[in-house]
Structure formats: C-alpha cells, structure tokens
Chain A
Amino acid sequence: MKLTALRLHNVKRFAGQGVAIENIGDGVNVLCAVNEFGKSTFFEALHALFFQPHTGTPEGVRLLRPYSGGNPVVEADITTSEGRYRLAKQFYGGKLASVIDLDGGRLLAQADEAEAFIGKLIHGGSAGPAGLLWVRQGVTGIERRSKSEEDGEKRVRESLLSSVQGEVEALTGGRRMAEIAAACEEELYSLVTSTLRPKSGGLYAAALDERDKLLKDEQRLSAEVTGLRDALDKRRMALARLSELENPEEGAIRREGISAAEASVEAAKSHSEALKAAEAEAALAVIHHDAAKQALDSFRTALKRAADLREQSTIAQLRRSEVLDRRASAIAENEQAMGEVQAAEQEELEARELLARVDATLLARDAAEQLAGSDNRLKQAEVARTQIEDGEAALAMLTVPEQAVEQLQALEIEIASLRAAHLATLPTLCMEYRAAADLVTIDAKPLPHAEDQSFAGTVRLDIAGIGVLTLRSNRPQQADRTIEDAEAKHRSLLASLGVDSLMTARQRLVEARDRAAELGLARQRLGDLAPKGIQQLHEELARLSALAAGDLELKVDSQQIRQHHAAAQQRVTTTRNNVREALPLRSHADEAVMAAETAYVTIQAELTSLDVILGPEAAREEKERLLLTEANARQTLREAAEMRAAPLRDGAHDLTSAEAVLRRARSVQDAATQEAGQLRVTLADLNGHIRTRSDDAVEEAWREAREKLEVAEERVGRFEIEKAVLDRLRTTLGAARSAARDLYLKPVMSELRPLLGLLFDDISIVFDENTLLPQTVRRNGQDEDVDRLSGGMREQLSVLTRLAFARLLARDGRPTPVILDDALVYSDDDRIERMFDALHRQSRDQQILVFSCRQRAFAKLGGNILQMSDWQPGQS
C-alpha cells in the first residue's frame, strides 16, 4: 500500500477549514514545517482514518475534534497492487465511512463494509504487524496515551525506546497478553507450584487435604461399621446358641442321657463283679481238680517206680558181689607181682656191688704198672727243661742283630772309601834316599824310601842330622770330618753290638745260630715227654700212686659177674612190667565196686522214699482207690463251676464303653454349661461394644463421611480441571507468544543488523532476541548499560526497527508506508545524515513519510518535498 494524498477538514487546529497534502510519491517524502503548524494533526488524522471506527468516539477520535466542535473529516488516497482507492471517514455528526475506486470512480464500499476494507488493508492477517508503521516523537501512535505522558524528556526517552517494543507487542499480544498471562499464572500458581504440584496453603492443597482427611475418616468409620455389624452378627449367633443351650428340652435330654449312662455303668459293674466271683470259683475248682489228679498220678507213678526199683535192686545186688570177687582176685595178683619185683631188685643190687669191686681192683693194677714209666719220663722232662733254660740264657748272650752287622760292614766299607779319597787329596811327600835310609823320620816314624807319603796338617820331618822339617798343609778340616763322623758311628755301632770288630760280630752271629738250633732240639724233647706240661706229669704221677695203693688181690671172674648183673637187671625190668600190668586191673575193679555199690545204695534209697510215699504195702490199693474217687469228684465240681461262669462270660457288659458313654454325656452337659457361661461373657462384651458404637451413631457418621468424601472428591476433581484449564491457557499463551517471536522477531533482527551497521560504525548493540530490545551497548570495547543510550540513539534505533519491519513486510509482498513524525529530535546532524542515507537506501522499494520541524537539518534529506494546500471536502 502507498499513500498518494492526505486530506482533512475540521480537524484540531484546522477548525472549519480543510487542508491537503497531495502528490505523495514513492521513496522518501518530507514535510518540513515549524512546530504547531499541523504536522502532528496530519499524523493523528491518518491514524484515526485507519484505526478508529467511524461510529465510535473514543479518545483517538475526540482528540481530532476542534474545540469548536463539528465533524472531523479525514480522507486519504491510496494505491495498492489492486488499484487506487480513496478512503474517507467522517466522525461525530454524519458518521460516514466510504471507499471509492478512483480508477472507476465508483463508490466501492460504505460504512461497515468500508471499515472491513480498511481493516484488511492494515491487518493483512491476524498475526502480522499493522499495515502502517509509525514512529512518532515519543510514541508510536497506535498506543493509547495521555497528554501528560507526552510531557517531560525522560518520559519521551522511555517512550521512544518502548515504541520499538510497541511494535513487538503488536505481534506478541502486547500488554494485554502479558496481563492475561500474568492473571492466568497468578490464578494457577495460587493453586499449584511451578511444577504443578498442589501448593501448600492453597485452596487446591486444602481440598486435597480435606479429601484425604475424609478418606481416612471414611475408612476408619467403615472399619467401625464393619466391626459393629460383625459384633451384631456375633451377638445374634451367640444369642441363638445360648437359647439353644438353655432350651429346657435340650437340657432334659442331656440329663436323661447322663442317668441312662449311669444306670448302664452300674449294671455293667454288678455284672462284672458276679463274673469275677464265678471266675474265681471256677479257677479254684480247676486247681483242686488238678491237685487231685496230680496226687493220683503221682501215686500211680510211685507204684510203678517201686516195682521197677525192686527189680533193679536185685540186679544191682548181683552185680555188687560179682565185682567184689573180681577186686579180691586183682589184689592178690598185684601183690604177687610186687613181691617178684622186690626180689629181682635185691638180686640186682648185690650183683652190682660185686661188679664194682672187681673194677677197682683192675684199675689199681693198671696204675701200678704205669707208675714206673711215668716217673722216668718226669725225670727226663726235667732234664730237658734245664737244658732249655740254659740254652736260652746262652743264646740271649750271643745274639746280635744281623741287620746291625750288615750295617757295620757297610760302614766299614764307607770309611775305607772315604779314607782312600782323603788320602788322594792330601799333600804327599816322597823321600828317595840316596844313601842311607831311614835317616829321616816322620813324626817319629821312619820315612820309607821312595814311597809317597801323604800327610795332613803338620808333620814334622826329623831329618837326622839336619834338623826338623815342619810341613804344614794348611788345608781346611772339612774333609776330615766326614771320616770322623763315619768312624764315630762305627764306634758307637760296635759298642752297641758289644763287639770290638766286624769279625767278632760275624763270629757271634754264627755261634748264636748254633746255639738256637740246640735249643730247638731240647724243646722238642720236652714236648714229647710232657705234652701237657710237667705239672700234668706230676699230677698223673700222684694219681697213679693213689690207685696203685688199692686192693690188688681180688680173685673173681669179672666176666661172670657182669653176666650175672645183666640178668638181674633184666629180671627187675620184667617184674616191674608185670606190676604195671596188674595195677589197672586193680583200679578198674575198685571203680566197678564203687559203681555197683552206688547203684545199689541209690536204688535202696529211692525205694525207701517211695515206701514213705506209698505207705504200707497193704494200704496201697485202698489209697489209690481213694485218690481216684477224689479226682473224679473234683472234676465234677470243676465242670459245675465252668457251667456257672460260662453264661456270665458270654453276656459280658462292656464297662469301659459304658463309662465312656457316661463321660461323654457328662462332658456334653459340662460343655453346654461352660459354653453358656462363655457366651454370656461374650454377649456382655458385645453388648458393651454395640451400645458404645450405636450411641456414637457410627453408621450414620460413616454414611455422612462417605457423602462428604464424594463432595470432597468432586471438589478435588474441579480443582484438577481448573488446574488443567489454567495450565492449558498458560501454555497456549506462551506458545503463541514464542511462535510470534519466531515468526517475526528473528527475521526483523536479521533485517535490522545491516541497518545498524549503516548507522553505527563505532558501537555495536546486542539485542535480546526475545524482546527485540537493546540489551547491551558495546562502545570502544566496553559494555555499557542500555539505559545510558542517548536519546538520539534511542530514537534512531526506533526508526531503524520500523524500517526493518517495513522491509520484512515488503519482502512479504505487502509494502507498507513508514511514517515518521518528528522522530529524530535528539539526533545530531551527523547521525541524521547517516539516517537519511539509511532512509534513502530503504526507500527504493518503500514509501517513507517524514514529518519534521527541523527544516534546516532536514533540508539535506532530499526526497520529495511535500506542501500543504487548502482543501474543501468534496473537491479533489
């Protein structure tokens, strides 16, 4: 939409007159005029045309009316993509609204239809911003305002800033939205917390508490009612039971039961005693019968036994005399054998003694014969022993160790060789006598002729007639010492051997060997003579001497004696065997006698005892008969007793059962009594309980609680619905608000940014994406509070925001005029110029109307300069 002309009549200061601005073009249009010239009147009239229904007289309309009254008329020509139209409204008297199609020159719409046409122009959609964008000194023009609000610079500044917000609010529902949301939330949060839980102290929470309390009450009372009904049921049952128990008929039946049981117990008891007596009698009869039978049987057995025994007694007697005879003969036989043994033994003794004497005599004879030889040998042995002793002594004297002799010999040889060596080294002298020999002596010995004479040490040559010549060899003594040592050793060896020379030693060695051989022979001899030593020979000699001292004169045939002795021994053996043979016969006979005797005596004893039992022989038959009679009588008695007991046994009364029946009958009675007592106690308890509860009217209270609970639950339900409704409203409002923001504010921001860059190169402004309000201002790298924005900057921001909106709408295919009424009051010239640049840049596809009183400053703006002209309605 574009404005092409604006006309008004009888508006504000133009009372009774008309004024018009024609030829409003594309791009920037400027109307510069001093204050109070009427610029703002145009602005307000335009606003009323578009936003005030022609029928009403709200404040915005009333402001248009001059003090003198009358009917304000506003008219505007517009161009849209569909055509050119003239919109006109007359307020107060002759209320009128019309739309004329300028191209066709015909009336398009009137009254409400005209309003609808205008509404479509400016709204273009329920959620979009208004189709006209206004920036006015201090206010946006679409807000309600009072005169006082326009006063004061501070107010103006705030309004300027909030004028941006105004546009935002138009999108986001504005203050109404905020107030409604606040009211909704207030109501909601009086009930619940922000997490939609019941808020404590709130009505909702109270309702819930009430509900819970009643629920508890109801449950408690319900339990009590149940308890009460239970108690009633129990009491009813108890009463029924009690009346049953106390029913006289029942009692009589029970008592009858007891007496019947008692009678039957009595009957059973008496029967039982009779039976017992009969049983005892029968048992006694049995005993008597058994005894009688026993006596009879014993008697008969005894009789038979006596007869048997008598037979046995006869046999035993025979047997006894027989064995006695046998024993007598055995004794005789035995004694004879014993006698023979004694005789044989005597004989043997005698024979043995004789034989011993004979032997002694023989020994003595032998000893006497050996005695002489033994004496001789003893003498020889003693001689031999003397020889041995002598030989040994001599040998001990002669003996030299052969090894030592050999050593001695080796030593002598060594000495000889040493001497020879010694001599060879000695200085020698040789004297050859020319004349007489032996004129010279050497060490007082003659010095032989032409014979080398060696010497050691110093020799004195006594040369007869001449003098003594002393020769000194002056040799070291060393050489001589070896020989001396050997010689010393030789000497000591000789001494140790006790000989004076090797020769002697050798002689002694031979001699010792001879003597040793002699000694060996002597020893041999002694060994032959006395192999067990001389002492044994002495003893042998003594023994023989003793033997030889015996009787040497007995003259008997020793052989005969020996035979006699052997025969005697044989006899002894034979007789002893005879005795051994006879002995068992004897002892066997003894035993037989004893057995026969015992048997006989036993039989006799038994017989005697039987006789006691049986009595005298004559009475025995009679006695047996008596016993038999007795036994028969007892049997009869016994059978009679059995006959009496049998029916009693058969007809036995069970006393135990009868007693059990009685006990049961009595226990039934006792139980009935006890139960009745118990029931009365229970009843008393129940009565108390029931009376208490029914006095409390617990059932009524329960019903009441139940009904109250229903009401409380309903109330809670209502609160829940209320909560849901408010929450739904709150969330829906919030969603609508943020949807509007997302839909418009963000695009506006992106439109706004380049414009800001155009205007402010030294500062950057951060906008709140939600409110589109400047949040912080960064100047020279420092953040500043947005409140400190200058008035100029505020208004510039305000204008730029409108431009951004306008761009957005234009891009949306709905170009919209931007109307600025003294919008740049506080801006300095530099900024204004920049702003002009921004406006021109914008105005390429945008209609901008600028109303200003700053003629000088706005002279630089350029653009289409608008003029006001007179106008009368109906003329154009």
Chain B
Amino acid sequence: MFRFIHSSDLHIGKRFGNMPEDLRGRLREARHSAISRLAEQARVHGASNIFLAGDTFDTETPTPAMLRQALAEMSQSAPLRWILLPGNHDSLLADQLWSAAGSVVPDNVILATRPETLTIGADVALLPAPCTTRRPGRDLTEWMNSAATPQGAIRLGLAHGAIQNFSEDSAASDVIAPDRATKAGLDYLALGDWHGPVTINERSRYSGAPEPDRFKHDTPGQALVVSIAGPGALPEIVAVETASFSWKTAPLHLLSGDDSAAAFEALLPPAHLRRQTLLRIAASGRVRLSGRTILQAAIAVAAPDFAYLELDGDGLATDCESGDLDRIDRSGALREAAQALLDESSDETRSAVERDISREALVRLFSYCEAMGS
C-alpha cells in the first residue's frame, strides 16, 4: 500500500492586486500556510509523500524570501517527502528559481525537474513531466509510455497542463492525452493546472488548488489523499479540505415582489465563518425600485462581516410601476421626468447601455425623492 497526497497550484507569492488592500496580505499568507495544512493532512491520513503537480510558485522569479520560507516550511514537516513539479507558471524556463531552489533544497524535498523515473519508495516509481516552458506546445507526458520501471513497481505519473482546452491560461495546442494513464500503464496520474478538482478517469485526476484564488470554481480548496494497494490496483481517493479562505458565488434570484433583503440574508453563512469568506452575490431576476435600494442597503450593512462581499447585479432587472412613480410625484414636471426615464429604460430601440443608464437614473431619482420625503 502506497499513500500520498496529491495537490497542485499553490501559487505561492500571488499578490491579489484586485482585492482590497488589507485583504491582500491575508490571502497571500494563506497560500504559504497551505504547505503546513497539506503536511497536517498527510500526517492525519498517514501519507508519506506529497506530490505538488506544478505551479507551486506563482512566478518564475519569486523573491528569495518567499522561496526559502516555502522550502523551510516543507523541511519542517520531515520525514514527509515533497515532490515539486515545475508547472507553467514556474516552468523549467525559470532556471533562476530552480537553480536557487536546488542550492537550498532540504533533504525531504525532491525537485522533479527532469523527465526521468524517480524511485521514491520500495517498488514505487514516479514519472514526472516537468513543464519545459510556459507553453511547451507538445504533450510532455509522451515519454511515460516507454519509461521503464522495475518489474512489480507502482507506476505513478505527475504532470501539469490541460487535458482539454480548458487550461487556466487557455493555451490550446499542448494538451495532455486524456488516456495517458492507460497508455503509459500508470496506476495513477496526478495532474495540476486546473484550480478546481476534476476527475478525468479512475486513474487520472486534477486535485485542484489547496487554497482557492478566485470565484471561478466555487469549490472549497482541497487535496486528494491517494492510496494504491499495488501495481494495477485501482487507487482509492479521498478529498480532504485544506483551505483557509472560502470563495463563494451565491446566486440570488429575485422576483418583483420579493423581499430582497430577506432573500439576501438567507444566503449568508454563519457569522463566525464570514471573516474567512469571500462572497459574491450573483443577483438575477427582477426587483422593484424600492427592492433594489433595500438590497443595496442590506449588502452595505453585511459587508464589514466578510473578508470580501460584492454584488454582481448584471443579471438583475429593475421593475418600475406607476406606484413607484407616484412616490416621486403624482404630477408635474418631476413626474414627467420620471416617466421619460422609465420609457427610455424600456425603449428597445435604444442600446442596452443607454437603457441601463436611464434605469439607473430613474433609480437615482427615486432615491433622491425617498431621501427628501414627500
């Protein structure tokens, strides 16, 4: 029985420039601390090795501090063994990175920088396919087919890149053959690059990032604990949570009469989790003028609880009825203006942008009137 942790895409050093200033440091730190969380999971599950299938570092030139601290953190977890594969972000082109790492690499860390069979245990052979460049332009796992391993050894593949054209970096031509595990007689192919977990087949998987870095995947950060009884045996795979932050996109569908604030609040996680949560409310459907203002107010109230909270209101249409207009004015020029904006916002001959602007202007007029009282 051989058991290891399969993870990838730590992206240590990522800076999150698109996040608020005070959150950036925390998010960054969380990436570094993923190392210790992975080690912890390994200990808990009795795994002896941790395979990092590429993109351990976010750039080809991490600062020496970042690199050294990451390696120091790994050495801390000895006798656990770490095997680092160059990915597209930290490909072999980053010779500065790999030569610097090579000079300070701890004993329990192996840099899989060459496509050569690594014997990592009794009867366990690892075939790494390090990324040679950012976009290698070919299937780097090809060599595994003909790689010789000792008779009766477990054959493991370690690779980074797209199986289909869904790479994080959307490079198209250099896809890994989806049936590489079968072709190369691998017991398991540990893949990296995709930040969400994906099962290709029973012997090939993307682990996903241990610590998410975007809203895209909407899955919690996790790693895979893989156990293989022996050559040819199907691997047993268990996903374990490793994330520090939760990135969630919450859909909020509203109908015109709905209590928008209540619907919003129902989406929120328990208060004690909010500090570690980045939440995006993806609103859709329709809402009255007043409902919209209420929703915005509610979000403003809840926001400070969260690491990050934003409203994506692109899918949310604003309804406006005569009663809403009456609240602006029953007659006179003000009412006329409101009516004109409403007409513009539903005038199909205008561009969507213009309609949106008119609708927003109406909402604004409404909120002015509300603020002023009658």
Residues on A lying within 8 angstroms of B by beta carbon are 119, 123, 125-128, 169-174, 176-177, 179-180, 183-184, 228-229, 232-233, 235-236, 239, 690-691, 693-701, 703-711, 721, 724-726, 728-729, 732-733, 735-737, 739-740
Given the interface pairs A232-B94, A236-B95, A699-B60, the reply to whether A728 lies near B18 with Cβ below 8 Å is no
Which residue of chain B is the closest to A127 with respect to CB atoms?
A: B336
B 346-372 binary contact with A (CB < 8 Å = 1; else 0) = 000000000011101100110011011
Contacts A/B (CB < 8 Å), 30 sampled: A123-B331, A125-B331, A127-B331, A170-B331, A170-B332, A176-B369, A184-B368, A232-B95, A236-B93, A694-B96, A694-B97, A697-B59, A697-B61, A703-B14, A703-B17, A707-B15, A707-B17, A708-B18, A711-B18, A721-B357, A721-B360, A725-B357, A725-B360, A728-B357, A729-B337, A729-B341, A729-B364, A729-B365, A732-B340, A733-B337
Is residue B330 within 8 Å, beta carbon to beta carbon, of the partner chain? yes
Which residue of chain A is the closest to B337 with respect to CB atoms?
A: A736
Is residue B63 within 8 Å, beta carbon to beta carbon, of the partner chain? yes
- A-B contact sample (8 more), CB < 8 A, given A232-B96, A721-B357, A725-B360: A126-B335, A177-B337, A695-B64, A700-B63, A703-B14, A728-B357, A732-B340, A739-B333
What's the least CB distance linking A269 to chain B, in Å? Answer: 50
Is residue B161 within 8 Å, beta carbon to beta carbon, of the partner chain? no
* Contacting residues, chain B, for A698 (C-beta < 8 A): 61
How many Å lie between the Cα of A694 and that of B99 in the bound state? 13
Which residue of chain A is the closest to B334 with respect to CB atoms?
A: A173
How many Å lie between the Cα of A725 and that of B330 in the bound state? 23
Is residue B58 within 8 Å, beta carbon to beta carbon, of the partner chain? yes
What's the least CB distance linking B340 to chain A, in Å? Answer: 5
Partner of A179, one of B58, B59, B332, B372: B372
* Contacting residues, chain B, for A171 (C-beta < 8 A): 332-333
Pairwise interchain contact A729-B361, C-beta atoms closer than 8 A: yes
Pairwise interchain contact B17-A708, C-beta atoms closer than 8 A: yes
* Contacting residues, chain A, for B19 (C-beta < 8 A): 707
Is residue B220 within 8 Å, beta carbon to beta carbon, of the partner chain? no
How many Å lie between the Cα of A708 and that of B58 in the bound state? 17
Tally the A-B contacts, defined by beta carbons under 8 Å: 160
Which of B64, B96, B331 has the most chain A CB atoms closer than 10 A to its own CB? B331
Which residue of chain A is the closest to B61 with respect to CB atoms?
A: A694
Which residue of chain A is the closest to B15 with respect to CB atoms?
A: A704
Pairwise interchain contact B62-A700, C-beta atoms closer than 8 A: yes
Pairwise interchain contact A173-B365, C-beta atoms closer than 8 A: no
* Contacting residues, chain B, for A725 (C-beta < 8 A): 357, 360-361, 364
Pairwise interchain contact B95-A694, C-beta atoms closer than 8 A: no
Pairs of residues from A and B, 8 with the lowest C-beta to C-beta distance, nearest first: A707-B17, A694-B61, A699-B59, A704-B17, A704-B15, A736-B337, A173-B333, A173-B334
* Contacting residues, chain A, for B341 (C-beta < 8 A): 728-729, 732
Pairwise interchain contact B364-A726, C-beta atoms closer than 8 A: yes
Is residue B267 within 8 Å, beta carbon to beta carbon, of the partner chain? no
What's the least CB distance linking B16 to chain A, in Å? Answer: 7
* Contacting residues, chain B, for A721 (C-beta < 8 A): 356-357, 360
What's the least CB distance linking A164 to chain B, in Å? Answer: 16
Is residue B329 within 8 Å, beta carbon to beta carbon, of the partner chain? yes
Which residue of chain A is the closest to B97 with respect to CB atoms?
A: A694
How many Å lie between the Cα of A179 and that of B370 in the bound state? 12
Which residues of chain B from 268 to 327 have any CB-CB distance to chain A below 8 Å in the complex? none
Pairwise interchain contact B340-A736, C-beta atoms closer than 8 A: yes
How many Å lie between the Cα of A710 and that of B17 in the bound state? 9
Which of A696, A704, A729 has the most chain B CB atoms closer than 10 A to its own CB? A729
Is residue B148 within 8 Å, beta carbon to beta carbon, of the partner chain? no
What's the least CB distance linking B264 to chain A, in Å? Answer: 21
How many Å lie between the Cα of A26 and that of B337 in the bound state? 37
* Contacting residues, chain A, for B329 (C-beta < 8 A): 173, 176
How many Å lie between the Cα of A119 and that of B330 in the bound state? 10
Pairwise interchain contact A740-B333, C-beta atoms closer than 8 A: yes
Given the interface pairs A171-B332, A736-B333, the reply to whether A180 lies near B60 with Cβ below 8 Å is no
Partner of B332, one of A127, A690, A711: A127
* Contacting residues, chain B, for A706 (C-beta < 8 A): 17
Is residue B66 within 8 Å, beta carbon to beta carbon, of the partner chain? yes
Which residue of chain B is the closest to A174 with respect to CB atoms?
A: B332
* Contacting residues, chain A, for B356 (C-beta < 8 A): 721
Is residue B185 within 8 Å, beta carbon to beta carbon, of the partner chain? no
* Contacting residues, chain B, for A729 (C-beta < 8 A): 337, 341, 361, 364-365
Pairwise interchain contact B337-A735, C-beta atoms closer than 8 A: yes
Is residue B13 within 8 Å, beta carbon to beta carbon, of the partner chain? yes
Pairwise interchain contact A740-B62, C-beta atoms closer than 8 A: no
Which residue of chain A is the closest to B64 with respect to CB atoms?
A: A695
Which of A119, A721, A724 has the most chain B CB atoms closer than 10 A to its own CB? A724
Pairwise interchain contact B337-A128, C-beta atoms closer than 8 A: no
Pairwise interchain contact A699-B61, C-beta atoms closer than 8 A: yes
* Contacting residues, chain A, for B360 (C-beta < 8 A): 721, 725, 728
* Contacting residues, chain B, for A125 (C-beta < 8 A): 331
Which residue of chain B is the closest to A128 with respect to CB atoms?
A: B331
Pairwise interchain contact B59-A740, C-beta atoms closer than 8 A: no
Pairwise interchain contact A173-B369, C-beta atoms closer than 8 A: no
Given the interface pairs A232-B94, A729-B361, A735-B340, the reply to whether A700 lies near B333 with Cβ below 8 Å is no
* Contacting residues, chain A, for B369 (C-beta < 8 A): 176, 180
Pairwise interchain contact B364-A184, C-beta atoms closer than 8 A: yes
* Contacting residues, chain B, for A733 (C-beta < 8 A): 333-334, 337, 365
Pairwise interchain contact B17-A126, C-beta atoms closer than 8 A: no
How many Å lie between the Cα of A179 and that of B368 in the bound state? 9
Pairwise interchain contact A703-B358, C-beta atoms closer than 8 A: no
Partner of B59, one of A184, A695, A700, A705: A700
* Contacting residues, chain B, for A694 (C-beta < 8 A): 61-64, 96-97
Pairwise interchain contact B61-A228, C-beta atoms closer than 8 A: yes
What's the least CB distance linking A482 to chain B, in Å? Answer: 154
Given the interface pairs A711-B18, A732-B361, the reply to whether A180 lies near B95 with Cβ below 8 Å is no
Pairwise interchain contact B357-A126, C-beta atoms closer than 8 A: no
Given the interface pairs A176-B372, A707-B15, the reply to whether A697 lies near B63 with Cβ below 8 Å is yes
Pairwise interchain contact A172-B333, C-beta atoms closer than 8 A: yes
Partner of B372, one of A180, A736, A737: A180
How many Å lie between the Cα of A697 and that of B97 in the bound state? 11
* Contacting residues, chain A, for B94 (C-beta < 8 A): 232
* Contacting residues, chain B, for A179 (C-beta < 8 A): 372
Which residue of chain A is the closest to B335 with respect to CB atoms?
A: A126
Given the interface pairs A695-B64, A726-B361, the reply to whether A740 lies near B96 with Cβ below 8 Å is no
Pairwise interchain contact B358-A697, C-beta atoms closer than 8 A: no
* Contacting residues, chain B, for A732 (C-beta < 8 A): 337, 340-341, 361
Pairwise interchain contact A736-B334, C-beta atoms closer than 8 A: yes
Which residue of chain B is the closest to A723 with respect to CB atoms?
A: B357
* Contacting residues, chain B, for A695 (C-beta < 8 A): 63-64
Which residue of chain B is the closest to A729 with respect to CB atoms?
A: B361
Pairwise interchain contact B365-A180, C-beta atoms closer than 8 A: yes
Which residue of chain B is the closest to A214 with respect to CB atoms?
A: B17
How many Å lie between the Cα of A442 and that of B329 in the bound state? 188
Which residue of chain A is the closest to B67 with respect to CB atoms?
A: A694
How many Å lie between the Cα of A690 and that of B98 in the bound state? 13
How many Å lie between the Cα of A492 and that of B149 in the bound state? 189
How many Å lie between the Cα of A232 and that of B61 in the bound state? 10
Pairwise interchain contact A232-B60, C-beta atoms closer than 8 A: yes
How many Å lie between the Cα of A685 and that of B365 in the bound state? 64
What's the least CB distance linking A867 to chain B, in Å? Answer: 35
* Contacting residues, chain B, for A739 (C-beta < 8 A): 333, 336
Pairwise interchain contact A736-B331, C-beta atoms closer than 8 A: no
What's the least CB distance linking A188 to chain B, in Å? Answer: 10
Given the interface pairs A232-B94, A708-B17, the reply to whether A173 lies near B361 with Cβ below 8 Å is no
* Contacting residues, chain B, for A183 (C-beta < 8 A): 368, 371-372
Pairwise interchain contact B357-A690, C-beta atoms closer than 8 A: no
* Contacting residues, chain A, for B368 (C-beta < 8 A): 180, 183-184
B 2-30 binary contact with A (CB < 8 Å = 1; else 0) = 00000000000111111100000000000
B 138-162 binary contact with A (CB < 8 Å = 1; else 0) = 0000000000000000000000000
* Contacting residues, chain B, for A735 (C-beta < 8 A): 337, 340
